[in-house]
Each structure stands twice: as structure tokens, then as C-alpha cells.
Amino acid sequence: MTLTTSPYDDDHLHEECAIYGIFGTSDAAAHTALGLHALQHRGQEAAGIVATDGTTFNVHRGLGHVGENFGEDNQEVMDQLVGHSAIGHTRYSTTGETALRNVQPLFADLEFGGFALCHNGNLTNALQVREGLVRQGSIFQSTMDTEVIIHLIARSRRASVVDRLVEAMNQVEGGYSLICMSKDTLIGLRDPFGVRPLVLGKIGDAYILCSETCGLDIIGADFVRDINPGELVVIDAKGVRSFFPFRPRPSRFCIFEYIYFARPDSMVEGHSVYAARKGIGAELANESGVDADVVVPVPDSGVPAAIGYAEASGLPFELGIIRNHYVGRTFIQPTDKVRHLGVKLKHNANRGQLEGKRVILVDDSIVRGTTSTKIVEMVRQAGATEVHMRIASPPTTHSCFYGVDTPERSKLLAAQMSVEEMAEKIGVDSLAFISIDGLYRAMGEAARNNDVPQFCDACFTGDYPISLTDYTGGRTRQLSLLAEAS
């Protein structure tokens, strides 16, 4: 078995994830399990929790949903995860196989004691750093970018855990939020551009760090504030301390969190995700209204935008497509074949609302175009006389290297075709995307500031705020589990 460093098809690695951490309660792992359950939408392939009572660290990681690993049937597991502090993670990756050794949180016994770490995002120079470390004798256990952080911390000669972490993070680049745990400390950190979210909450005397506020709501915790870009917070018996150890950079929060990724009932970076999506739908209606009888969302991701569209256009909103909730998100299916199948498994036309009608279909995004093509066919088969597709994001023309799973550019429909060509391929009477300035208007900005954009919108503009050291010539040099399997 070779631990490979060979290049491979970029369709297969990026991870999106949820992270969670709590300090200062006797049933830290149970809180974490609930928090991860609320954040399940951010990753459905695997879940893990590490808890500590200040002496020992207990770890459980498994493939599948949070409930399959930390639910009712796993009382034994939960009983072992004792401690006042815990961190947890749900993993999402389109990797062809999911190996348990790549499931987070990562844990290592370091010079100063046990250390656990979980990560949402993507380090863009992880391979380069890793190659250097391997040359110096480091032995890696996983193919995750996150593991380089553990190695860098292990090698640091600095005295405190926080100083070691800062030294490590000064050597990596990327869009990330991190939660780390030592025996007596919980640490949260966002990259200097603040690409990925991280919020602080409180319940009783315990503090929580997690990806989105819905992870606080589930246990009745209060939202305290967002962790700021480039901020490192240390939570211990003394309370919460905040540091800004990195060179300040302009904030570039991921705009796709609002469009698709975050849960609509979450507040991230001061915006309600639901309100943002409705606003995008309204702006879309203003920009590209069309005569029609009914506005129909592609559920669930298109629902808030379709409500906004319907309100702004004065057209009725109907659930013309019904989603079966017992099938995972189509995008997650590892092979193209299953992905096609997934769309049929997931959606069904509600004929009574479509037959004889001119339909405006609203979805949040077109990536490969698989979903739209199938849905449009389904809506036509149900008797719609016209189908107009409206997309609540600009065309996705570029891959994300900061932690949102998008395929390589060659598989992005909008990178290959004009809007007219896409309309023909998808089989609609008309197709329109919100403009980039329309998107910014919906987020409360006058327009995109082209000099210093207010968000990271690289997937729509190709304007990547953080260098892409490991990604050269359209192919990634990230590590491949698939190559290892073959």
C-alpha cells in the first residue's frame, strides 16, 4: 500500500464540514452530538467526537450520520465519551471511498499532552507543507490537509499550546475555521480572511464554538457573537480570551454559505441566511422577471429564494415539486451514475400544480447541470406549458479551493457554456442567473466593490483571495485516496 502523493482528478477531494466544540459542562459529548446533528447538512459522510475530562481523551469516529454514531443506539459510545470538554466534526467529501482514518477530529499525543483538532475548510498549501515535513521524517496517518497542522504543532518549540498553534497556522494558507482542544483549553480560530464561519455561544457556564447558530439553538444555548476573521479565542476555566495573532486581511466571507450551504434558520456574519436567500430571490425577480403563472422552488435549497421571487413578482408560490427527505443530497453521491439516479429518487412532480401552467423554477445554483436537467424534464412531463429557470446565484464558473465542494472546472456547466447554451442543454424556455451586483445588493451592499470585494465569490468571479499554492494548471496536487485504492 503506497501513501500516494500523485496528482488526480480534482472532482474528488474537497471537504465541507461542520465543527463543534464545548467547554465547561459535565455532558460535553452529548451536547456536541446534538450540535452536530443540527449541523448535519454540512457533512453526511462521517462524524466524530473527542471528549476529555482533563486527564484522558476519548475518541469515537465513524462513517455515516451523527445519529448513527452518537444516537440512541450508541449509549455505550456516549458513556465512554466522558468529560467537561468535547469537540466534534461531520465530514462531507466527494471522495470515491471514505476511509475512517480521514474522519475528524484528529487526535495526537503531543509533548504537552493530548490534542484534538477539527477543521472546516481547505488548506491551499497543505501538500507543499506536507512534502517538506515528510522529507524531514514526519509520518502521516491520513491524506487530510488538516493533519499538517498537528505535525506543525508537534514540531514547534514554543512553550504554550496557543503559541504552537499560531506558529503552525502562520505556515499554512487557506480558508478555514478550526476548533482545537487540549486537556484544559478549547481554542477556536478563523483564517484571516474569515472565509468559513464560526460562532460563539453560551449555555449556563459552558461556552460553545460551532459553524452556525442552528448548532446553538438545538441545545437552547445563547448566541454570543461571530468569531472575527483572523481571531483566535481561547476558552478555559478563566473564561474567553481573544487574540488577533495574524496579519489583518480584508474580510472575505464565503457568499455561497448564504446561497446554499448554511441552514436557513442560522445567522451567519450578522445576516439571517433565510432573509438573505429571500432577498436574493426578490432581486432575481427584479432583474429577470418573466410572464408566468406560478413560481415553483426546487426543494429544499430553492425554497427561500422562490418565496422572495414570488413576493417580488406578485406571482403565486406553489410546491410543484415534492422532495423525498429520506435520500441524501444528490451532490454527495460519489459517482456520476448514482448522482443521476439520486435526482429521480429525491424529487417528484406535483402534477396538479404544474399541468397547463407556465412555470418559473427557482433553484439556488447550477453546478454540473444534472439536477436542473432532470427536474425540467419532470416538470414538462407533468404538463407545464413553459418552463423558465431562475437561479439564485451567478453562474458557477470556477471551482472552490476553500472548502466548498465543487467539481473541477471542466465539469462546471457554466465554465463550458454560455447562458443560452445552458438553457438549451437544460431544456428550458428561458434561463437567467442573478447578476453579481444583484447578489451583493441582496446582501445589503450597493454593489460588488471590485477593488476589495466584501465577500469571497471566487466560484462566480475567479477572484481567489488566498493563494492556491497546491493547485497548478487546473489540476490539484492534493492527496488522493482513490489513487491509493487503485
Residues of the shown chain interacting with ligand AMP in the complex, contacts defined by CB under 6 A: 260, 298, 301, 329, 331, 363-372, 404-406
Identity (one letter) of the amino acid at 356? G
Cα torsion angle, 137, 140, 145, 149, sign: negative
- Give the nearest distance from C-beta 254 to ligand AMP in angstroms: 11
Query: Which residues belong to the annotated binding site for [4Fe-4S] cluster?
Result: 254, 400, 456, 459
Cis amide bond preceding 10, omega within 30: no
- Give the nearest distance from C-beta 364 to ligand AMP in angstroms: 5
Task: Return the C-alpha torsion angle 398, 400, 405, 406, nearest 10.
Answer: 10
Nearer Cβ to ligand AMP (58/93) = 93
Partners of residue 210 on adjacent β-strands: 20, 199
Question: In sequence order, what DSSP letters do the residues of 294-351 get, joined into one string?
Answer: EEEE-TTTTHHHHHHHHHHHTPPB---EEE-TTS--GGG-SSHHHHHHHHHHHEEE-G
Nearer Cβ to ligand AMP (11/231) = 11
- Give the nearest distance from C-beta 483 to ligand AMP in angstroms: 23
- Give the nearest distance from C-beta 176 to ligand AMP in angstroms: 17
Nearer Cβ to ligand AMP (36/404) = 404
Identity (one letter) of the amino acid at 164? R
**Complete edge-to-edge strand list for the sheet that includes strand 222-226:** 57-63, 46-52, 85-93, 15-23, 206-210, 199-203, 222-226
Nearer Cβ to ligand AMP (193/331) = 331
- What is the distance between the alpha carbons of residues 14 and 478, in angstroms, rounded to a whole number? 9
For residue 203, give the nearest of 218, 185, 188, 186 by alpha carbon.
218
**Active-site residue set:** 17
The conformation of residue 95, written as its DSSP 8-state character, comes to -
Nearer Cβ to ligand AMP (74/430) = 430
Q: Give the pairing of strands 15-23 and 85-93.
A: antiparallel
Query: Which residues belong to the annotated binding site?
Result: 254, 301, 363-364, 400, 456, 459
- Give the nearest distance from C-beta 256 to ligand AMP in angstroms: 7
Query: Which residues belong to the annotated binding site for Mg(2+)?
Result: 301, 363-364
